[in-house]
A and B are shown apart, each in its own frame.
Chain A
Amino acid sequence: MFQAFVIQALVTGGVYALLAVGFSLIFGVARMVNLAHTSFLMLAAYGMFYTTYRLGLDVFTAILISLVATIIIGLVSYKLFIDRIREHEVTVMLITLALATIFQESMILAFGAHFREAPTLIPGYAEIFAVKVMYQHLLTIAVVAVVLLGMWLLLTKTKLGIAIRATAQDAEIANLMGINVSNILLVAMGIAAALASIAGIVVAPLWVVFPYMWMSPLVMIMAIVVLGGLGSIKGSLIAAFIIGLVEVAVVFYLPGGSFLRSAIALLVMVIILVVRPEGLYGIVFEEERL
C-alpha cells in the first residue's frame, strides 16, 4: 500500500510538472499570464484524435502535425491579439481567456461536446514494486526530464536563450542593445505553445479528450506555479510533486472524500503561501530566475 502511494504521488506529480513547466516558462521570460496555455493542450489533443482516428495517419505524423499546428495557432494568436496589448497584464489575461473560450467553442462546433480519445503512445503498464504504472505515465515523467533539460540548454547555452532572458529582465534595455523584443516574445510564445502541445500529446491519452478539458488543469497549474514561486521553473517542479503527493494521500487515506483531492491540495497551497507569500522559490533577484 505504501509503495503504491509513493509511486502514484510521483506519477501524479510528473503529470502536473509537465503541464506547469510551459506556463511557468512563459511567465518567467515574458511576464505573461497566458490563460490560454491549457487550451493549446486541448487543441493538440484534438489534433492527435483527428489525425489518427479520423485521417488514419500514423502516430509520428500525427504528433508532427499536432505540434506544428498548435505552434502556428499560438504564434498567430500572439501576433493578432496579444502583441499590441502585451504591456497591459490584465488585458492580456482577459484576451487569453477569451482565446481559450473561442478554441473551446470551435472544438464543439467541429466535433461536438463528445468524449474522445487521443491515441496512447506506449500502451500497457509496468509493475514497479508490484504496483501497476502505465507506460504512458512513465513516458510523461521522462518527457518532463527531457523538456527541462532542453529548456535549460536553450536558455543558458544559446544566443536566443540569452536574448529571451535579457528581454525578460528588462525589455527596454534589451531593445537598446539591439534585441528585437517583439520577435523574442513571439518566439517565447511559440515555445510555450510547443510545451503545451507536447503536454497535450503526452498527457491527453491518459485523460478524456473533450472541449472543456483545459479548465480543470488550468486551475491546478496556476496553483502550482504560484506555490512554486511565480516564474521559477524549479519551484514549479517541486510544487507539482507536493500537490501530487497531497492529492494521492487524500485518495489513499480518505477514499470516501477523494473528490476533495484538488480542494485539499489547494488548501495546502494556501497554507504554504500564508507562511511564505512569495512561494517556495519566489524570485527576489532576477539572477535567480531559472
Chain B
Amino acid sequence: MKKFFFICFVSIILAAMILPACAAPVTDVIKVGVIGPMKFMEGENHWNGAVLARDEINAAGGVNLNGKKYQIQLIKADSNEILSPTDAAAAMERLITVDKPDFVIGGFRTEGVFPMQEVAMNYKKIFMNCGAATRALQAKVETNYDRYKYFFKVTPYNEYFLVSTDFKMLNMVATILKKELNLPATEKLRVAIVAEKLTWADAMVTTAEATIPKLGMEVVGTWRPSDTATDVNAELTAIAAKNPHIIFPTFSGPVGVTFGKQAGEMQIPAAIVGIVVEAQKSGYWEATGGKGNYVMTLNTYADGVAVTEKTLPFLAKYKKQFGQFPSYTAASYDAVLMMKGIIEKAQSLDPEILVPLIEKSEYLSTAGLIKYYPVGPDTKAPACPHDIMYGPGLTTGLGTQWQNGQLKGVWPAKGIGTGGFENIDYPGIVPYMIPPAVIEKFKVK
C-alpha cells in the first residue's frame, strides 16, 4: 500500500513538472509583469489600471510589432511590501525568472521598491515604478547609469517636488485662513508637522521644518507616529495643546485613516493639509465614518477635474469597471499605454533599444505630460534622470479635499501661487472649505 502511495506521489510530482512544458507555447503576446501589494488598495490599483490599458490595447488589435499584432498579457505578482518589504525582492525574482515578462510595472513603498529595483536591474529588465516617490531610487541612475538605466518613474514625482507642492497647498490654505478668519497681518499661523516614521517622509520632515518658518509660519512641533499606529489620540491631544491653525501631515500608511478619524471625532480645530495617501481613495470616507471631512491631501485624480483630455474618460472607465475611484498607483494604466507607443516606435522589445526612446519620450498621460529629466549635467538636484518632470504644463498633481462625502479638487487654484502655478486652470477645481471648528475657534469677529 505504501508503495502504491509513493508511486502516485512521484507520478503527480512528475506530471506537475512535465505538463506545463508540454503546453502549447503562447506566442504573439507581450508579457507585462504587474507587481505591487495586491492585497491592498495600492496593488489593486496597480492591477486595475493595467487591466484597463490591456483591454483597451487588445480590443484595438494589440501592439503592432514587426508587422504582427501582439496581445498584452498581464502577470500579477504580490510584493506584500506594505507588511513585509523583504518579500518584495523574492516576488520580483520569481516574476522575472519564472514568468519572464518583457517589462515590469508597479512598486509602491520605497522600502520594497529598493530591493525590487536591484533584482530587476540584475536581469536588465525595464521597471516602470508607479508608486514610490524617493529620489534616491532615481539617483542610482545618475551614479551608475549602465546598471540602473532600466529604471523609470511613472508616478509620483520625487519627494522634493512632493514637498514643494505640499508647501504650495499649505500656502494656499494659509492665505485663505488669514483672509477668511480676519487674522491680523502680523499674526503668524502655527503649524504642527505630523509624519509617519518611514524613509520617504524623513526628507519631507527636514525640509518642512526648515521651510515653513520661511513662509512666515511657526512650527509648533513635529510628531512621528508609526505608519501602522492604531491609536493617535495621544498625539492629537499633544498637538491640540500647542493650539495650531494647521496640521501638516505626511502619511502613506493606515495611520492616515486613524489620524483623520480621531481628529474628526475630537473636532480638533485645525485645518489638515498635506499628504494622506489613504485620503486619496474613495474608501476613506467609509473608513473614517465621515469624520475625515475637510482633510486636504496632495493627489493625482479628483472627481470631475480634467487635468488632461485623457483624465475624465479614464476616471469614468475606471469607476464603471471597478466601482471605485482610482488612487495614484492606477497610473499603471499610463505606464502600459506609454510602453505600447515606445515598443511600436522601436519595433523591438530589446531594453537596450527601448531605454533611449523612453528617455526622450513625451507622453500625455491621465495626470499630465510625462517627460523625463535627461541624463547629464543639465539635470540638477532635486531633479534626477529618469524621474518625471515637474511643473505647469508637465505634471503638477492636484490638491483634493473631502467635502461632505465628495473628493473635490481645490488646488491649483487660479490666481493663487507663483511660478506659473497661478495660471493653471484645470476645469472642475472648486474653492477650499475651511473646517467649521477652525472658523469657530479662530475667526476674529
Contact = CB atoms under 8 A, between A and B. Distances in A.
Interface stretch (A120-128, A189-197, A229-237, A271-279): A120-128
A11 B229 CA distance: 16
Interface size class of chain A, counting residues whose CB lies under 8 Å from the partner chain? 35 or more
Interface in B297-314: none
B287 A113 contact: no
Given A251-B223, A255-B224, A8 B287 contact: no
B83 A53 contact: no
B197 interface: yes
Given A115-B283, A120-B289, A256-B222, A206 B231 contact: yes
Interface in B59-84: 83
B321 interface: no
A244 to B, nearest CB: 9
A134 B261 contact: no
Contacts of B228: 216
Nearest to A259: B197
Most buried by B among A12, A112, A113, A216: A113
B11 interface: no
A281 B289 CA distance: 41
Contacts of A217: 230
A114 B265 contact: no
B261 A258 contact: no
A12 B233 CA distance: 8
Contact of A252 (B39, B196, B238, B254): B238
Given A115-B287, A208-B254, A259 B241 contact: no
Interface string B340-353: 00000000000000
Contacts of B435: none
B286 A4 contact: no
Interface in A122-168: 123-125, 131-132, 134, 136-137
Interface in B268-283: 268, 278, 283
A112 B258 CA distance: 18
B237 interface: yes
B235 interface: yes
Contacts of B223: 251, 255-256, 258
Given A120-B289, A259-B225, A114 B41 contact: yes
A78 interface: no
Contacts of B265: 120, 123-125, 134, 136
Nearest to A118: B289
Nearest to A3: B241
A210 B40 CA distance: 10
Interface in A82-112: 108, 112
A21 interface: no
Contacts of B23: none
Interface string B191-235: 000001100000000000000000000000111111011110111
A15 interface: yes
B257 interface: yes
Contacts of A53: 286
A207 B234 contact: no
Contacts of A207: 230-231, 258
B283 A251 contact: no
Contact of A11 (B230, B233, B286, B287): B233
A255 B286 CA distance: 29
A43 interface: no
Contacts of B226: 259, 261-262
Given A4-B241, A251-B238, A259 B233 contact: no
B267 interface: yes
Nearest to B239: A255
B262 interface: yes
Interface string A48-73: 00000100000000000000000000
Contacts of B40: 113-114
Most buried by B among A115, A125, A206, A210: A115
A245 to B, nearest CB: 11
Contacts of A210: 254
B266 interface: yes
Given A53-B286, A125-B265, A258-B223, A131 B233 contact: no
A224 to B, nearest CB: 15
Contact of A213 (B41, B197, B230, B233): B230
Contacts of B44: 112
A31 interface: no
Given A134-B233, A208-B261, A216-B228, 11 more contacts: A8-B237, A116-B286, A124-B265, A131-B237, A132-B267, A208-B230, A217-B230, A247-B234, A251-B225, A257-B224, A259-B226
13 contacts: A115-B254, A115-B283, A115-B287, A116-B286, A117-B289, A119-B289, A124-B265, A208-B258, A212-B83, A248-B234, A251-B238, A255-B235, A261-B226
**Nearest 7 A-B pairs (CB), nearest first?**
A259-B197, A113-B39, A115-B287, A251-B234, A207-B230, A117-B289, A259-B226
Interface of A: 1, 4, 7-8, 11-12, 15, 53, 108, 112-117, 119-120, 123-125, 131-132, 134, 136-137, 206-208, 210, 212-213, 216-217, 247-248, 251-252, 255-259, 261-262
Interface of B: 39-41, 44, 83, 196-197, 221-226, 228-231, 233-235, 237-238, 240-241, 254, 257-258, 261-262, 265-268, 278, 283, 286-289
